[in-house]
Structure 1
Amino acid sequence: MLPLPPSLYPSLIAALLYAVATLIQGLRLSRGARADKRLICALGVVAVIAHSVALGSQLLTSHGLNLDFITAASLIAAAVIALTLLACASLPVETLLVLIYPLGLVTAMVAQFAPPGTVPRIDEEPGILSHILLSILAYGLFTMAVVQALLLLVQNHQLKHKHPTGLIRAFPPLQTMESLLFGFLWAGWIFLSASLLSGWLFLENMFAQHLVHKTLLSCLAWVVFAVLLWGRHRLGWRGHKAIRWTLAGFCLLMLAYFGSKLVREYILHI
C-alpha cells in the first residue's frame, strides 16, 4: 500500500473550510444581510494555513522548487486569499471572499490530485526567488482588482436598473468600491514593476525563447495598467472604462504567465 502524500489532509481541510465559509457568506448575502466578518475571516485564516502547509510539500522537493502550472495556480490562489484577509483588517473587502474562497477550494484540490506538469525544477537562488515572490504578489493584487472590478460592474448595472439584489445591498457605496479598485491596481502595478525589474536583474535572458512571450505580454500588461492609472489621475476615468481597462490588463497578465505555462507543460511538454 502506497503511503499517503503529506499534503493530502491539509488540502482536504483547506477545501472543506473554504466551502463552509463560502456557503455561510453566500447564504447571508443572498438574504441581504452583511457577512459575518469575524467568522468567515477566522475560517479563511485556518484554511489558508492548511493550504500553505499542503503547498509547502508540493513546492519544495529534493530537486528544487516545483512551480508547474497547477501548483503555481494554487500558490497564487492562496496568496490572493491571504492578501484579501489582510486587507479585511482595515478595508470593507470581505465581499470579495465569496468569489475568492471557491478559487482556493478548486486549486487546492486540483493541485493535490492532478498529474504534475513537465516543468523543470527551479534552483532556489535568492534573486530568482525574489522575482517569483514579487510576481506572485503582483498577480495576487491584480486578481483582487479584477474581482473587485467584476463586482463593481454588477453593482453599476443593478443600481442603474434600480433592482439591487441582496448581494448588492451588502456592498459598500459605489465610490468606496471604485477607490478600493484603484488601490488594488496601484499596489499591483508597483509590484509588477518591481517584478519586471528583478527579472532584468536576476534572469540571464528575459527574451530567451521560453520567456519571450511571457516578457512581452507582461510588459504590455504593465503599459495597459500604467495608462489606466494615468487616465484615472489626469482624466478621471471611472465606471465601465476603468473596468474594461482592468480586464484587458489582467487578461494579458494571465496569458503571460498561465498561458505560456499551459502550452509549455501540457501541449509542448517542454
Structure 2
Amino acid sequence: MDRFKAPTSAIDLCYFIKQRKKSEFVSNVPPMYFALGVNQCADGSAYLEYGRIKIMCCVCGPVELKQDGQLVTSFRFAPFSSQIRRDTFKDAEEKRLSQLLLTALEPSVILDSFPRGKYQIAVTVLDDGTELNDYVCSTSSCLSAGITCATLALVHAGVQMYDLAIGLDVMPRALNSNSPEGGGLISSLAVMPQLNQVTMFNGISLGIRSLDGLRTVMEEAFTRAESIYATIHGTLYSIMKTDYKKLEKLE
C-alpha cells in the first residue's frame, strides 16, 4: 500500500511549531524516574525515564550452557518510539548499539558468579525523546539511558556486580564553549563511579584533540555519575526497606 502523499502546495507542520532551543551542555542531571519489576515474566526488569527518553529492559537467566558464563544483549527501538522514520538504518544501528551495550555492561558483572550460565539482556526504547520539529534522533542519548536501565534490571534480577554501570551523555560544548553550532553531536559514556573506571566510551563524533579535553570530559562525567549513583542507591535502599517491612508483617 502506497504512503499518503501530500499535495505540492502543502506546508510542513514543523513550520507552525515553535522551535525548541537546543540547550547547551549542562552539568545537571536531567529529571529521572525508574521502577523495578515492570515485567513479571522476566527474572529482572526495569523502566526508566531519563529526560524525555522512555526505555525498558528485561533480564532473563541464568540459562545453563556448556561454555563459561556470558551476557547476550539486544538493543531495539519500538516501532512507535520516534517521530522520525528510521527504517533505512534501523537494523545496522541496533546491532551497533547492542554491541556497545555489551561493552558497557560486561565489566560490571561478576561472570564467575554464574559459571556455565547465560544472561539475556533486552533493552527496548519506547520513546526516543524526539518531537515533531526534530530532524535528528540522538541514538547516543538512548544508549546512555539504556545502559542505566539495563543496570537497574540486572540489580532487580539479583545479578552480582562489581559496581553499577551508569550511562552518560557527552557533548562537544563541554570542551569548548565557542564550538560551532554544527558540533552539537552527542556521544555516550559508561562509567562505574565507585570503582572510578570507564567501561565504554563512544566518542567518535566528539572530536577530542587534546589530553586536557579528554580530562575535562572524564571529570565532568564522573561528577554526574556520582549524582546518578546516589539517586539510584537511595531509591534502591528505600525499596528494600519497604519490602523488608512487608515481610515482617507477614511473619
Structure showing the higher strand proportion among its residues: 2
Question: TM-score of the superposition, structure 1-length normalised?
Answer: 0.29
Question: TM-score of the superposition, structure 2-length normalised?
Answer: 0.31
